[in-house]
Amino acid sequence: MNIFFTVHGLPSCAMEDEECRDRLMHPDLPEDPRYHARAVDGEKSSAYWLNQGKKFVETKTTTPLNKKKAKNVIMFLGDGMGLTTTAAARNLLGGEHSELSFEKFPHVGLAKTYAVDKIVSDSANTATAYLCGVKTLYGTLGVNGMVERGNCRAMLDKANHVSSIAQWAIDAGKSAGVVTTTRITHASPAGAYAHISERDWEDDTEVVKACGRDSGIDDIALQLIHGETGGKFKVMMGGGRRHFVDSSLQKKGKRSDGRNLIDEFKSQSPRNAYVETKEELANLNLQEVDRVLGLFHDSHFDFHLDTDVESSTQPTLEEMTRRTIELLSQDDNGYFVFIEGGRIDSAHHDNTPRKALDETVEFSKAIQLAREMTSEDDTLIVVTADHSHAFSFNGYPYRGSDIFAASPTKPNDKIPMMVLSYSNGPGYEKFYDAINGVRHDPTTLMKGQPNDVYPATFPRDSETHGGEDVAVYASGPWSHLFTGVYEQNAIPHMMAYALCVGKGLKACD
């Protein structure tokens, strides 16, 4: 049986015709003069690129290694922000030649994201790796690989608990905290303070369903307010208000133990401040408070593209970052803080790349502000992702063209394909007629709106994560440690080395 390959406008190639198939791999697409002017001035000359390369080498060779002790560490986590996401997001900044703020950092490495039991991981086991320094099982938080997901008994054994760099910083007399655009009880921020065998046990109701009322298990929200680590955080900002209040006390409350953990936090000290809006956060006198709890949404934050900046009551990640640094900078001993742009991940799961890339740009703004507010002499900033997504950016688009549009490359069925697509997810059913075995023209279904769902190859209600390595960007003291390819769980050990906390090697030894 002969197998033939075709590309629209080119002859078919037999499987054994290697030379013909090679031409199909690299089609000579028709020129489109509309996009020639979008190239940066001088790019067509040899001198432009030669000079650029020389300047890069000069920058690298003249940048001294910073071996000072870090007073502070800020870890930024772009949930689901794989390399495809960052490359595509540059187009929102003015073009593919543009840079996100953290791409200007002097040192970059790659982290392997697999779990103990899965090649493609989730946000819980990865949080345990990059915050606690220990790889663990999919779906578990702050516990080692001896604890199976959802096991009600094994997690009660404190010998299986692992502490985070936030706790290491607290033990060294520093301040610590977590900030996120997701629920603050969600997997990524919870990795800084929780020990639990199921990431979904965000409130007591979920624990009771799985393990009974008298299991002895503290849910994630309870651990944030009263736990060994969370109970000492100076700043806690995000969404997820529903997990802190009983359903009888608040309409959207999820708890069933009659408790209001927000009131319990406020009653701990008159210098504990609670805020629910960006105005309250902006007007907070940080000189008069020791700790801040900000819960700005019942669940996750609304996507940035879905909000009216003028009327929205939720702060941006940039605004939360500013207030966080202002508060923590009052501690002469320094601090560690975890700041997450968490809705990049949510948008990818929905096959909505316009939102995912916009969230990436918002994430970049917060990092730019943090670098401007702090000094590279004493503050290490580390930027990374927990995992990637099954997100594709392909089809030979022209320079300067709209990446949200169709590719100039035509598939064999002569129906347009988009530059952006997913391996799986809800976009399958919208763009593929399974009964007749044909694709719908995606260009007729796109409306240029934030909620546009993009094509997927396999049907799933929610798109899956990707398993490739993620980038780690670093700036500040000992940032050169973060180069190379390493296991994800090495990240907190390198941060602890620079910060001189924890039980491992320290820069100040």
Catalytic residues: 123
Helices within 94-240 (DSSP H only): 123-132, 165-171, 187-190, 204-211, 220-226
For residue 323, which phi and psi values (nearest 5 degrees)?
-70, -35
Beta bridge partners of 291: 272
What is the maximum span of the chain, computed from C-alpha positions, in angstroms?
80
Q: What is the DSSP letter of 162?
A: -
Q: Is 372 in a helix, a strand, or coil?
A: helix
Residues 6+ apart with CB under 8 A from 507: 67, 69, 70, 477, 478, 497, 498, 500
Report yes or no: 265 and 301 within 8 Å, Cβ to Cβ.
no
Query: Does 387 belong to an annotated binding site?
Result: yes
For residue 10, which phi and psi values (nearest 5 degrees)?
-120, 155
Query: Does 480 belong to an annotated binding site?
Result: no
Q: What is the DSSP letter of 260?
A: B
CA–CA gap between residue 199 and residue 216 (Å, rounded): 17
DSSP 29-94: PPP-GGGGGGSPTTTTSHHHHHHHHHHHHHHHHHS----SPPSEEEEEEETT--HHHHHHHGGGGT
Q: How are beta strands 107-112 and 470-475 bridged, if at all?
A: antiparallel
CA–CA gap between residue 240 and residue 68 (Å, rounded): 38
Report yes or no: 379 and 423 within 8 Å, Cβ to Cβ.
no
Query: Does 340 belong to an annotated binding site?
Result: yes
Q: What is the DSSP letter of 218?
A: P
Q: What is the DSSP letter of 354?
A: H
In this structure, is the dihedral angle defined by the CA atoms of residues 318, 479, 164 and 177, taken in order, positive or negative?
negative
Q: How far apart are the first and last CA of the chain?
A: 69
The alpha carbon of 190 is separated from its chain's Cα centroid by a whole number of angstroms, namely: 14
DSSP 479-495: GGGG-EEEEGGGHHHHH
Burial of residue 393, with CB atoms counted within 10 A of its CB: 0-12 exposed, 13-18 middle, 19 or more buried: middle
Query: Does 17 belong to an annotated binding site?
Result: no
Which among 330, 404, 508 is positioned nearest to 91, based on CA atoms? 404
Query: Does 200 belong to an annotated binding site?
Result: no
Query: Does 79 belong to an annotated binding site?
Result: yes
**CA angle 289-292-293, nearest 5°?**
150
Q: How are beta strands 335-341 and 175-183 bridged, if at all?
A: parallel
Beta bridge partners of 339: 76, 179
Query: Does 36 belong to an annotated binding site?
Result: no
Binding residues: 79, 186, 188, 340, 345, 349, 386-387, 465
Q: Which residues are annotated as a binding site for Zn(2+)?
A: 79, 345, 349, 386-387, 465
Binding residues for Mg(2+): 79, 186, 188, 340
